[in-house]
């Protein structure tokens, strides 16, 4: 080793600098510090740069760990000697030190941290051009296992934070790509380091980190899943949200909302509740700017309404709040001003697609919320929604089969709104909506294809429809559709269902009163022509409308047809209904002379149709309450000479329709049912024969 090898360092200085003993290296470093101070005093920059070059290349880049340690201590001494002039030599000072941050020897890494700390301490703001490199080095050391190295790196980190905080020239734009990248680190310690820097930068008044929040928001939310940094991250995000609420004008909500939508669909509860809370605030703060993102927000919040566990209550409640806030954005203005920017931003087709998918969810709460959305959209922007009804209709019909009464009730609310006259673009005429007929045809097809649905929910569905809309319109149009029904067995069952509802449901009170009014012959005939598919229902309809003489005719006609167990069961139910409050007027008429003649005859006709069952005795006991004198009144007054003209009831029927034509129609339909039974039995016998032959 010669003087020329490391000039201007002496051989003795070099030997001490690379010595194993720390004290000797420290003495050598002091000698270098003294030498550099002399060079500074005479402005000998050449010699200073020579020393830096020797220390940077020959020592810190050496494979020998002692050379590295000595070189690092020497560089720190040079920086201390230079003082404020170190800013002219920052690159020569910093680069060699940073190289040793990743050295395999922890002692070397420790000395590198110590050396850079001394350089930064004297150079201060002059090191900021190299901030990204220093930050990268420190972020790697954040995961350091060696206690001494970790402690030294933390000291250096605190110093760097102080410098950034006090310096207005910090290049935040240049730093953001690096910060964004480091946010995705998987190491807990590295995450803690990154979050601490985000917190520090956000706290600096002159550094408007919130402007760059869209770039780092995703990474911050991902860190919420780490229990070791969860609290730190929550604190940082809370502060950002407070800043947003304080001054929304400086925030670009649209650049962040998709990040929030994505994270609000995660399985991590902390991330999910935080994202939903942010979305809720975004809607309140930015209003209509959120309209283009409604479909994404709905995708996130509707499934959350299904949460029932106590642990997810806050998520569910926040999702409800978001849902309510989002609904408020949908106003009638979006329909009135079809070409407005807000209207263009609302992708209704995409929204309805999301809602329809959620109708398939297993949760009642999610399905109800989805149905409320369709109702709300139709109420607020009917013109726009009507153009999508054809795609929504099948989904709504499907939901009618849902097991929940609440869901069915809401889907009926939606359907009633869509098919009501007010749903049309021109509401002045109040003509029936084209979807009214389409719906009833589809509903009957649904009942035809799914008899279990008809049995379990048919009555509930029809009753609710009658409560929501005109019962007369529902019954008239249903009768029209059933009149041409080819499946006569289904028509029989459907009429039985409609008739039972008519005679028992409080929702049909007004319709029953209409039918009792002789001015409503059109309604009576419309129902009668369809009710003939079911003879007992036809009798009940005529009893309800007080056409008692015609009931007597029908009972006589029925003796020509097969009396089945099903038929007797229906007669039995009719007798039970006669004892109900609905038919109290009929029971009172049994004691009115002479108008009770055909009614009594009809009641005895029903009695004779029944076997001596419980219903038989029930009706017999009722008829026994009638004074016997009344049975002879008609015979004694057959010519009606003593009856005041105003009190005569010549026909025995309330209506003056052509009952002869109605009888023909009744007989034709009974013949059709008779033929269908023969065909069904023939086919059944043929099938049994084929099965026997195959065995």
Q: Is the pLDDT of residue 4 over 80?
A: no
Other CB atoms closer than 10 Å to residue 326's CB: what's the count? Answer: 21
The rounded mean pLDDT for the chain is 89
For residues 555 and 602, the answer to whether their CB atoms sit within 8 Å is yes
Q: How far is CA 521 from the centre of its chain?
A: 49
**pLDDT value at residue 681:** 84
SS3 assignment, position 532: coil
Query: CA 180 to CA 214: how far, in whole Å?
Result: 10
Q: Is the pLDDT of residue 615 over 60?
A: yes
> Token digits for 467?
């409560």
Most distant CA pair in the chain: distance in Å?
Answer: 156
Burial class of 279 by CB neighbour count within 10 A (0 to 12, 13 to 18, 19+): buried
**pLDDT value at residue 426:** 39
Mention every residue, 6+ apart, whose C-beta is less than 8 A from residue 246.
none
How many Cα atoms occupy the beta-carbon half-sphere of 393 within 13 Å? 19
**pLDDT value at residue 421:** 64
Task: Give pLDDT tens digits for 12-28.
Answer: 999 999 998 999 999 99
Report residue 678's pLDDT band, with 50, 70 and 90 as the boundaries. confident
Task: Give pLDDT tens digits for 198-228.
Answer: 999 999 888 889 999 999 999 999 999 999 9
Of 95-99, 164-168, 207-211, 417-421, give the lowest mean pLDDT range.
417-421
How many Cα atoms occupy the beta-carbon half-sphere of 571 within 13 Å? 26
Choice between 690 and 30, residue whose per-residue pLDDT is larger: 30
- Averaged pLDDT, 425-453: 79
- Averaged pLDDT, 602-626: 92
pTM: 0.82
Query: CA 247 to CA 599: how far, in whole Å?
Result: 82
Q: What percent of the chain has pLDDT over 70?
A: 92
Residue range 1-170 in CATH 3.60.20.40: no
**pLDDT value at residue 334:** 74
**pLDDT value at residue 63:** 92
Burial class of 667 by CB neighbour count within 10 A (0 to 12, 13 to 18, 19+): middle
Q: For the chain, how big is the Rg over CA atoms in Å? A: 45
What are the domain boundaries of the chain? 1-170
Query: CA 469 to CA 380: how far, in whole Å?
Result: 20
Task: Give pLDDT tens digits for 529-553.
Answer: 999 999 999 999 999 999 999 999 9
Of 188-197, 377-386, 679-688, give the lowest mean pLDDT range.
679-688
Q: Is the pLDDT of residue 283 over 90?
A: yes
Report residue 346's pLDDT band, with 50, 70 and 90 as the boundaries. confident
Report residue 429's pLDDT band, with 50, 70 and 90 as the boundaries. very low
Report residue 631's pLDDT band, with 50, 70 and 90 as the boundaries. low
**pLDDT value at residue 431:** 59
Task: Give pLDDT tens digits for 63-112.
Answer: 999 999 999 999 999 999 999 999 999 999 999 999 999 999 999 999 99
- Averaged pLDDT, 160-176: 90
**pLDDT value at residue 686:** 80
Report residue 343's pLDDT band, with 50, 70 and 90 as the boundaries. low
Report residue 601's pLDDT band, with 50, 70 and 90 as the boundaries. very high
For residues 474 and 420, the answer to whether their CB atoms sit within 8 Å is no
CA angle, 425 as apex, 424 and 431 as ends, to 5°?
Answer: 45
Report residue 412's pLDDT band, with 50, 70 and 90 as the boundaries. very high
Q: Is the pLDDT of residue 594 over 80?
A: no
- Averaged pLDDT, 234-246: 95
For residues 160 and 131, the answer to whether their CB atoms sit within 8 Å is yes
């Amino acid at each position: 080793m010669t003087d020329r090898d490391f000039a201007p360092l002496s051989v003795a200085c070099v030997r001490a600098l690379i010595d194993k003993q720390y004290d000797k290296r420290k003495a050598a470093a002091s000698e270098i510090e003294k030498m550099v101070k002399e060079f500074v005093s005479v402005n000998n920059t050449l010699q200073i740069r020579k020393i830096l070059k020797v220390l940077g290349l020959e020592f810190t880049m050496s494979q020998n760990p002692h050379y590295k340690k000595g070189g690092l201590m020497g560089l720190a001494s040079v920086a201390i000697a230079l003082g404020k002039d170190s800013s002219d030599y920052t690159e020569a000072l910093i680069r060699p030190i940073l190289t040793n941050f990743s050295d395999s020897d922890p002692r070397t890494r420790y000395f590198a941290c110590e050396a850079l700390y001394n350089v930064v301490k004297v150079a201060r703001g002059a090191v900021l051009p190299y901030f990204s490199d220093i930050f990268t080095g420190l972020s790697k050391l954040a995961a350091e296992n060696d206690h001494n190295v970790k402690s030294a790196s933390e000291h250096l980190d605190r110093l760097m934070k102080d410098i950034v905080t006090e310096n207005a020239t910090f290049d935040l734009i240049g730093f953001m790509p690096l910060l964004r990248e480091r946010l995705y680190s998987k190491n807990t310690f590295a995450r803690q380091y990154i979050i601490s820097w985000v917190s520090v930068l956000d706290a600096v008044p002159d550094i408007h980190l919130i402007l760059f929040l869209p770039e780092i928001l995703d990474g911050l939310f991902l860190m919420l899943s780490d229990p070791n940094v969860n609290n730190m991250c929550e604190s940082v995000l809370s502060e950002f949200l407070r800043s947003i609420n304080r001054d929304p004008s400086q925030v670009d909500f649209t650049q962040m909302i998709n990040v929030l939508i994505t994270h609000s669909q995660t399985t991590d509860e902390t991330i999910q509740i935080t994202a939903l809370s942010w979305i809720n605030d975004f809607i309140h703060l930015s209003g209509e700017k959120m309209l283009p993102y409604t479909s994404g927000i709905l995708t996130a919040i509707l499934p959350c309404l299904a949460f029932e566990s106590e642990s997810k209550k806050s998520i569910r409640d926040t999702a409800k709040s978001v849902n309510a806030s989002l609904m408020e954005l949908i106003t009638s203005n979006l329909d009135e001003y079809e070409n407005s920017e807000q209207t263009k931003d609302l992708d209704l087709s995409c929204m309805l697609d999301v809602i329809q998918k959620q109708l398939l969810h297993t949760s009642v709460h999610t399905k109800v919320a989805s149905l409320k959305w369709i109702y709300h959209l139709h109420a607020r922007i009917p013109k726009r929604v009507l153009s999508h009804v054809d795609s929504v209709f099948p989904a709504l019909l499907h939901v009618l089969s849902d097991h929940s009464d609440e869901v069915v009730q809401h889907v009926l609310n939606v359907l009633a709104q869509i098919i009501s006259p007010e749903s049309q673009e021109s509401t002045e005429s109040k003509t029936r909506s084209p979807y009214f007929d389409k719906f009833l045809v589809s509903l009957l097809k649904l009942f035809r294809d799914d008899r279990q649905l008809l049995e379990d929910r048919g009555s509930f569905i029809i009753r609710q429809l009658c409560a929501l809309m005109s019962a007369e319109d529902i019954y008239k149009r249903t009768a029209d559709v059933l009149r041409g029904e080819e499946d006569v067995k289904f028509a029989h069952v459907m009429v039985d269902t409609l008739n039972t509802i008519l005679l028992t449901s409080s929702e049909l009170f007004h319709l029953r009163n209409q039918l009792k009014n002789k001015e409503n012959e059109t309604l009576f005939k419309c129902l009668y022509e369809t009710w003939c598919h079911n003879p007992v229902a036809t009798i009940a309809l005529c009893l309800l409308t007080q056409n008692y003489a015609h009931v007597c005719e029908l009972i006589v006609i029925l003796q020509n047809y097969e009396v089945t167990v099903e038929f007797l069961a229906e007669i039995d139910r009719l007798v039970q209904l006669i004892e109900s409050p609905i038919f109290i007027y009929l029971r009172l008429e049994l004691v009115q002379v002479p108008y009770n003649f055909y009614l009594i005859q009809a009641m005895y006709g029903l009695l004779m149709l029944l076997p001596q069952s419980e219903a038989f005795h029930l009706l017999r006991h009722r008829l026994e309450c009638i004074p016997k004198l009344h049975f002879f009144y008609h015979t004694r007054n057959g010519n009606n000479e003593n009856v005041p003209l105003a009190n005569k009831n010549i026909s025995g029927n309330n209506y003056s329709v052509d009952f002869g034509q109605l009888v023909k129609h009744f007989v034709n339909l009974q013949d059709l049912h008779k033929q269908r039974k023969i065909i069904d039995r023939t086919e059944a016998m043929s099938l049994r024969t084929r099965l026997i032959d195959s065995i």
